[in-house]
Amino acid sequence: MSERIARFLAEQTPETPCLVVDLDLIVEAYEALRHYLPLARIYYAVKANPAAEIVGVLSRKDASFDVASRGEIGLCLGNGVAPDRLSFGNTIKKEKDIAYAYQAGVRLFAFDALHDFTYPSLDRIWCGRNLRPRIFFPKFRNQRAFGVAQINRRNASLRCGNQDFS
């Protein structure tokens, strides 16, 4: 626990349980990641703690954000995050939410299943784009946890409008 948090808890004595966050520590951790991973684009998972103060301080450091809902997209955009610094991903993506993210300017999407590409109304979004789906197939034994299975014509297919990519 930082001295600053300890002092806050001693002086304010908030009702427990409570969460106390030191924004300076968040900035230090983010800057350490940037230092040790200079080529990486670092994404803060807004779902982990959607506090506007955290999003705001990381936005001012040019961080990128992983968002999973309309509310998280709005929170980031409202804190000055440009849409090109957002990645939209959710294991249960609704067609209308994918469309909303796209209309908001998000162009980076994380996918968990081929099903995410099957919504006919979204053909205009996916067609002609370079897509890198990460697909989990539980029946394959050669896959590591959170890994990517090899996709081939026998176990998966992908269509974009009338175009078949399988």
* Two structure tokens written together for 60: 């001012």
Distance, in Å, from the CA atom of 40 to the CA atom of 90, rounded to the nearest integer, reads: 22
Per-residue confidence band for 129, with pLDDT thresholds at 50, 70 and 90: low
In this predicted structure, the answer to whether residue 133 has a pLDDT above a threshold of 60 is: no
* Lowest-confidence region among 37-41, 152-156, 159-163: 152-156
Q: What letter represents residue 134's amino acid?
A: R
Average of per-residue pLDDT across 124-128: 63
In this predicted structure, the answer to whether residue 6 has a pLDDT above a threshold of 60 is: yes
Distance, in Å, from the CA atom of 68 to the CA atom of 141, rounded to the nearest integer, reads: 29
**Whole-number pLDDT of residue 63:** 96
* Lowest-confidence region among 20-34, 55-69, 127-141: 127-141
83-115 pLDDT, tens digit each: 999 999 888 888 889 889 989 999 888 877 667
**Whole-number pLDDT of residue 94:** 85
Average of per-residue pLDDT across 24-29: 94
Average of per-residue pLDDT across 66-82: 97
Q: Check: CB of residue 129 under 8 Å from CB of residue 102.
A: no
Domains defined for the chain, CATH in brackets: 1-107 (3.20.20.10), 111-166 (no CATH)
